[in-house]
A and B are shown apart, each in its own frame.
Chain A
Amino acid sequence: MPISRRTARRAVATAAALAVFLPLSACGGDSGGGGAADASGKIEGSITFQTWNLQANFKPYFTGLIAEFEKKYPGTDVKWIDQPAEGYADKLSADAAGGTLPDVVNVSPDLLAPLAKAGLALDLDQAAAKYKKEYLPGAWAGHGIPGMEGTYAFPWYLNTGPLFYNKRLFREAGLDAEKPPTTYDELFAQSLRIAGKSKGRIATLANIPTIEDFGRYGVQLMNDEGTAFTFNDAKGVELLTKYKELYDAKALDPQALTATPESAGKKFLTQAVAMNPGSALDLEKFRKDAPALYDNIGITEQISSTGKDNMYVMGVMVNARTERTPAAVAFAHFVTDARHQMEFAKQVAIFPSTAGSLDDPYFTKEDGTDATRVRIAAAKSLKTAVNYTPVLMSDQMKTELRNAVARALQGKESPKEALDNAVRACDRLLKQS
C-alpha cells in the first residue's frame, strides 16, 4: 500500500502506478472460488449470518434460532449481522468486491442473480440437493437463474397481500362499496367513474404499472431462454394504453410518475387515493395511524388476468467462498426448514415456502378477524402465485421501463414506441451483465 511510504509526493506517484492494475484485480470475476462446494463434511466452526432489516422486531426469534443451532451442532458458532433497510445492495456490492461477504446471506432474487453470475453463490442443486423436496417446487425453482444451471438460494419467506380500498370514496362516487372491481375492465371503469365524480380530485391508482403489473395482466415478459425481453407485445401495449387513459382522466394520480411505493401508501393513508396494494400488516398500521381510514377500509383480492397472484420471495444463499461450507449449508437450511419458517410466520404476517406448511390450520382456519381472513386468503393464493418480476431484471432495467411508461403517459411517445424503446434498452443492459 502506498500508505506505507512516508513521502506524500512519492505516494501519489505510486498510487498512479498501482491504480492501473489494482482495481481490476480487486474483485472476483473468476467463478468457482475458495471454499469447497462439498457440504458433506463435519458441521463445525464459526460462520456469519446476515439478514436484511429484521433485527429491530425479531431479535428474540433469531437469537433463539441461533442458540438452538449451536446446541444441536456443538462446535459451531453463528454470528448474526443485521443490515438496515437502506443501502443493502451497496453494502453487498462492497462486500462482494472486497471479499468480505458473510457466509450465509439473506437475499432477494434480483440481488441473487448478479452474485450467482459472479460465482459468489453456492449451487445448492450440487451442495444440498437432498433438501430440495422440502420446499414448494415453485419457490425452489424461483432461485435458479435463467441461462445458468443450478439453484442458488434456499427459499425463505414469501409475501403477498390483498388490495385495500377506501369504501367511503367508492360510495361517494355512487359505486357499490361492497362490490370492488375484480377484473381489469371493472377496475378501469370504476377508476374513471371515481375521477369523474370527484372532478379529478380522487385517483384510484397511485402507482404507474411496474413489471409485475405487466405480468399479472398476462404480458409475456421475457422469452423462455431468458435472453431477451418481450413486454412490448400487444398485451403490454394494451395495458399501457389503458393506463394512459386513466392518467389523462386523473384516475391515475398525477404524482404517480414520481411516486414510490411508500409515497403511494401515504396517499392512501391520507385518503387521497382510493386503492392500494398491501399486506396483512397494513391493517394494523391503518388502525393505528389513520383511524379515519380504518373505519372505511375494504379488502379485496389482487386483480389478475392470469389467475395467479404476484408474490415476493426471499432467499438465503450460501457464500461460495465460505471456508465452512458444511456449517453454512446446514445453517441456511436450518433457518429455512419447515419448523422454523412456521415459527417465523407466526411472528409476523409472512408465509413459509416449505411444502405443506400452507395447509397448517394457522393458514386455513377462520377466527372471525380481518387479519386472519386476509392471511387465509393470501395463503390460498400463494399456492398458485408467481414472482412475476424476472430475476434478471436489474434496477437499471426497471428504471428504463419506468421512464418509458412515464413518457407514454405524458404523451411524449406512443405506448408502442415507449415499450419498444424500453425493451431495446433492457436487452442491451442484459447483454452487458
Chain B
Amino acid sequence: MTTPTTTAAAPSGSTAEGRAPKNPRTGGRPRDGRSRIRRHLPTSPWLFAAPGLLVAGAFSLYPFLSTVTNSFTDRRTLIAGRFVGLDNYREMLGDEMFWTGLRNSTLYVLGVVPALVVLPLLLALLVQKQIPGISFFRSAFYTPVVASIVVVGLIWVWLLDERGLVNAVLEAVGVGRVGFLSDQWLLLLSAMAVTVWKGLGYYMIIYLAALANVPRELHEAASVDGAGAVRRFLTVTLPAVRSTMVLVGALSSVAAFKVFSEVYLMAGPDGGPAGEDTTLVMLVQRTGTGLSGRAGYASAISVVVFVVTVALMLLVLRADRKEDA
C-alpha cells in the first residue's frame, strides 16, 4: 500500500482527493464512463489481486481440493486411505444422522435468516439518529459480536437452564417451567435465538454503512410530500438498502447452514438428546476429528455442505436478480 503514495504527487492528486467526498450526487452511475478508464498496465490487476488470490488458493481452495479427493477414500486421521469410489456418499444416503443434520441445518437457515435480515435493520434505524449517548448504545449493542462464542454459550445455558433466570420469570408469571435445554425442538430454537442475538450487532454495522448512503434529499422530499415515518421507511429507506438486505441474506444463510458453535454449546457435543439436534457441520466435526476420526467420510459430508452453500448463494442472488427485473 505504500508503493502508490511514493509515486510523484501529481498536482491533480490533491484536487481529486478533496473532491471525492464532496462530489455532488449526479444521480445514476454513468455507464458510458466506464470505457474511459479501461487502459492500464496489463499486469497491474493481477498484482492487485495476487495477495488475496494466493491466500485464498493456498489456505482455502487447495486444502479443500484434498477434502474432495479424501471424500473418495476411507482415510482415517492417522491411517492413509484407499480409493473407495462413491462408498462414502452411498453410506451417507443410508445414515440417519446425515439426514438429521441436513434437516437441522436447513431449519436453521429458515429460522435464523429472516430474523437476521429484518431485526438488525430496525436496530440500525434505531441507533442511526444522533441523540445524546448514541455512541455508547452502538458500542454496547456490538458487545455480543465481540464476545467469544464459548462465553456466550455458557451465559445462555445458565439463563435458559431449568432453574435459570428465564424459567424463574416464566414460573412467576404463571407459565410454568419450560425445558429449553432438554427438548430437541426448544434446544434448536434456543440456539437460533443465540445466533440472532449474537448476529444483531454484526449486521447492524453493515446496515448502518448502507443507511449512511441513503441521500437525505430523498427523505426531505418525502417529508415535504407529507409521508409519515412508515411510508418513508417503505418508499425511501427500504429500496435504498435492498441490495444490502440481499447481502445480509446471503451471508447469514451461508453462516446459518454451517452453524456449529451455538448448537454445540447449547445442546452439547452429541447434538442434543440422542443427537437429534446435530447439524451437518457438527457431524463433520464429530466423525472427522480426533485421533480416530474418519477423515474420508467426514470429507464427503464437507463436500455436501459446500455444494449446498454454493446453491444457497446462487439462490439468493437469483432471487435478487428477479426482483431487479
Contact B62 A93, beta carbon cutoff 8 Å? no
Given the contacts A263-B157, A396-B287, A258 and B54 also touching, CB distance less than 8 Å? no
Q: Mark A1-38, 1 if CB is under 8 A from B, else 0.
A: 01100011001100110111011110111000000000
Contact B53 A399, beta carbon cutoff 8 Å? no
Q: In this assembly, does B181 line the interface, its C-beta being within 8 Å of a C-beta of chain A?
A: yes
Contact B270 A22, beta carbon cutoff 8 Å? no
Q: In this assembly, does B223 line the interface, its C-beta being within 8 Å of a C-beta of chain A?
A: no
Give CA–CA (A433, B294) in the complex, Å: 8
Given the contacts A2-B57, A11-B54, A396-B287, A432 and B294 also touching, CB distance less than 8 Å? yes
Contacts of A168 on B, CB cut-off 8 Å? none
Contact A394 B292, beta carbon cutoff 8 Å? yes
Contacts of B293 on A, CB cut-off 8 Å? 93, 396
Contact B269 A260, beta carbon cutoff 8 Å? yes
A residues 73-101 near B (Cβ < 8 Å) are 89-90, 92-93, 96-97
Q: Mark B160-202, 1 if CB is under 8 A from A, else 0.
A: 0111000000000000000101100001000000000000000
A133: min CB distance to chain B, Å:
30
Q: In this assembly, does B267 line the interface, its C-beta being within 8 Å of a C-beta of chain A?
A: yes
Q: In this assembly, does A40 line the interface, its C-beta being within 8 Å of a C-beta of chain B?
A: no
B50: min CB distance to chain A, Å:
6
Segment of B68-76, B210-218, B314-322 in the binding face: B68-76
A425: min CB distance to chain B, Å:
10
Contact A25 B80, beta carbon cutoff 8 Å? yes
Say which residue of A23, A97, A432 sits within 8 Å of B74 (CB atoms): A432
Contact B62 A29, beta carbon cutoff 8 Å? no
Q: Mark B261-274, 1 if CB is under 8 A from A, else 0.
A: 00000011110111
B166: min CB distance to chain A, Å:
14
Give CA–CA (A2, B65) in the complex, Å: 13
A residues 383-433 near B (Cβ < 8 Å) are 394-396, 399, 402-404, 406-407, 410, 412, 429, 432-433
Q: In this assembly, does B1 line the interface, its C-beta being within 8 Å of a C-beta of chain A?
A: no
Contact A255 B80, beta carbon cutoff 8 Å? no
B60: min CB distance to chain A, Å:
11
Contact A11 B57, beta carbon cutoff 8 Å? yes
A243: min CB distance to chain B, Å:
14
Given the contacts A23-B69, A29-B79, A403-B270, A114 and B292 also touching, CB distance less than 8 Å? yes
Contacts of B179 on A, CB cut-off 8 Å? 254-255
Contact A254 B182, beta carbon cutoff 8 Å? yes
Q: In this assembly, does A259 line the interface, its C-beta being within 8 Å of a C-beta of chain B?
A: yes
Give CA–CA (A268, B74) in the complex, Å: 43
Given the contacts A15-B61, A29-B80, A258-B268, A8 and B50 also touching, CB distance less than 8 Å? yes
Say which residue of A12, A111, A406 sits within 8 Å of B274 (CB atoms): A406
Identity of the chain B residue whose Cβ is nearest the Cβ of A30 in the assembled complex:
B80
Name the interface size band of chain B.
35 or more
Contact B77 A2, beta carbon cutoff 8 Å? no
Given the contacts A15-B61, A93-B289, A432-B76, A258 and B270 also touching, CB distance less than 8 Å? yes
Give CA–CA (A63, B79) in the complex, Å: 35
Most B C-beta atoms less than 10 A away, residue of A92, A115, A258: A258
Contact B79 A395, beta carbon cutoff 8 Å? no
Contacts of B268 on A, CB cut-off 8 Å? 258-260, 263
Contact B58 A258, beta carbon cutoff 8 Å? no
Contact A117 B78, beta carbon cutoff 8 Å? yes
Give CA–CA (A12, B75) in the complex, Å: 24
Say which residue of B54, B157, B270, B291 sits within 8 Å of A399 (CB atoms): B270
Q: In this assembly, does A211 line the interface, its C-beta being within 8 Å of a C-beta of chain B?
A: no
A96: min CB distance to chain B, Å:
6
Contact B80 A258, beta carbon cutoff 8 Å? no
Contacts of B272 on A, CB cut-off 8 Å? 257-258
Given the contacts A12-B57, A93-B291, A258-B270, A115 and B286 also touching, CB distance less than 8 Å? no
Give CA–CA (A93, B293) in the complex, Å: 9
Give CA–CA (A120, B273) in the complex, Å: 36
Q: In this assembly, does A136 line the interface, its C-beta being within 8 Å of a C-beta of chain B?
A: no
Most B C-beta atoms less than 10 A away, residue of A19, A90, A254, A263: A19
Contacts of B53 on A, CB cut-off 8 Å? 8
Give CA–CA (A24, B79) in the complex, Å: 9
A233: min CB distance to chain B, Å:
22
Contacts of A96 on B, CB cut-off 8 Å? 77-78, 291
Give CA–CA (A115, B292) in the complex, Å: 9
Say which residue of A11, A111, A120, A257 sits within 8 Å of B58 (CB atoms): A11
Q: What is B's interface to A at a CB cutoff of 8 Å? A: 46, 49-50, 53-54, 57-58, 61-62, 65-66, 68-70, 73-81, 157, 161-163, 179, 181-182, 187, 267-270, 272-275, 286-287, 289-294
- Residue contacts A-B, CB under 8 angstroms, 16 given: A3-B58, A8-B50, A12-B61, A24-B80, A27-B79, A93-B77, A96-B77, A96-B291, A114-B291, A118-B78, A258-B181, A270-B163, A399-B275, A429-B294, A432-B76, A433-B292
Q: With A11-B54, A395-B292 given, can you name 5 additional A-B contacts, CB distance below 8 Å?
A: A27-B78, A97-B77, A117-B79, A394-B292, A399-B275
